Structures are given as structure tokens and as C-alpha cells.
Structure 1
Amino acid sequence: MENAWQHKKCRPCEGGIPAFTRDQAERALADLSGWTLREDGRAIQKAWLVRDFAEAIRFFQAVGELAEAEDHHPDLHLEKYRQVTIVLRTHAVGELSENDFILAAKIDEIPVALKG
């Protein structure tokens, strides 16, 4: 799904940028597929059930390379060897910013083999 977030670049952040309000975050989520706002409204997340452990690690490697290129780093979680969850928040502000939605859209472009 093509959206405007995919064409942006994460901005360096050491704090001092405005955090998204809950309303802004909910509007931005409408452009993304499968991402949800966490209950506290301070992060977004998405979960995948991937084919196997090797695919989970390959996917995390690809996400890590993207995160380094964007200089915006997600929290990566792997449970039960193939349940992958990615949580995004702008750590420097402790809440959501535009960078989180940019990275989410770009993560969605990474191919991943799901459990069939």
C-alpha cells in the first residue's frame, strides 16, 4: 500500500521536536496497514507470525539495516521463535513523532514470509 510516509526521511532527533497528539496518531495510522496505537497512546506496534525462526531473524536484520539508514530505531520483539512484534516510539521524546510513521511505512515495504 503506497502512502506519503514512504517518501519521507526520518529527521535526526535528540529531543525538542513536538510529539504527536493521540488524534494526530490516529489520523496517521489510517495510512498504515496493521499498525495499532498502544493503549497509552505513546507508541505504535505491529505483529507478524512469520514462517520460521530463520525468517524472523532475516526480517529483523532487514529492519535493522533500514533503522540504521533512517537513524531511527524500533524495539524488536521475538517470542515463540516466530512471533515478531515491532514497537515504534521516538525515544528522545518518549512519545510518537513523524519519524515513527515514516519508519512504519518503510518497514511495511520489507518482504516477509508469513506462516502459511
Structure 2
Amino acid sequence: MATHTPDELVKKKCLPCEGGVEPCTLDESQDQLAQLDGWRLTNDGKRIRKDWRVKNFLAGMAFFNRCAEVAEADGHHPDLHLEGYRNVSVELWTHAIGGLSENDFILAAKIDRLPIELQ
């Protein structure tokens, strides 16, 4: 997988993945993550995650609704976490391959462009 800037990633669309492709290597994932602010590897390098502290519960829910719209448009769906009513997290991986694909980095870059009310 080639490394792309966030501007390049947001211009791409997630491609359907039904398996049969290899997940990104740890090196590929780390190289791409260097281009994305605040995202980190989790789950032994098989997922990426970013955390925010939002203004209040409704700000978190509004952010999740915007994430859902972007995810649905690209057909690639993250795990959304809300804890302690203001701590929101988004976790991405390509379920069909049990690891990371370019789709995860595309969606991460798009989520980074969404408005969010931080504390």
C-alpha cells in the first residue's frame, strides 16, 4: 500500500472488501499513520483508533451522526465508543480481512474533516 497525504485520502472512496486480500503490514500502517493526526494502532496493529473529549453528551452524539453519514456513504463502518458522556472514540479496521486496509485510512482522514465540539 502506498502512503498518501490526508488530502489525497479524502478524495478516494472506500472499495468493497469481501476478504481475499492481505491486511496492511505493520510498517505500511505506521507509515500511513504518520500522515494522520492523533490516530494510533490498537489490537496488535490490526486496528486504528482516535479519541476526543467533546463539549458534552449531545456534541458526542452529533459527531457520531456525522461519522455515520460519512461511513454509510463509503460503505465502511467504524466502531463508535462513548464513555463518561464526553469521551468519544472511533475505531477502524476491515472486518473481512481481520486487519487494516486502505479503506480504514481513507475513512480516518474523512472523519478528521468532520466538525466536532471539543471541550
Q: Tell me which interval the TM-score lies in, with the shorter structure as reference length.
A: over 0.9
**Residue identity opposite 1:7 in structure 2:** K
Structure 1 segments (4+ residues) deviating >2 Å:
none
- TM-score in terms of structure 2 length: 0.93
Q: Tell me, which stretches of 5 or more residues in structure 1 are unaligned?
A: none
- TM-score in terms of structure 1 length: 0.95
Q: How does 1:1-116 map to 2 (within 5 A)?
A: 2-115=6-119
1:30 deviation in Å?
A: 1.0
Alignment RMSD (CA, Å): 1.2
**Cα distance in structure 2, aligned partners of 1:98 and 1:38:** 16
User: What's the % identity of the aligned pairs?
Assistant: 52
2:24–2:99 Cα contact (<8 Å) kept = yes
- SS of the residue aligned with 1:92? helix
1:19 deviation in Å?
A: 0.6
Q: Tell me, which stretches of 5 or more residues in structure 2 are unaligned?
A: none
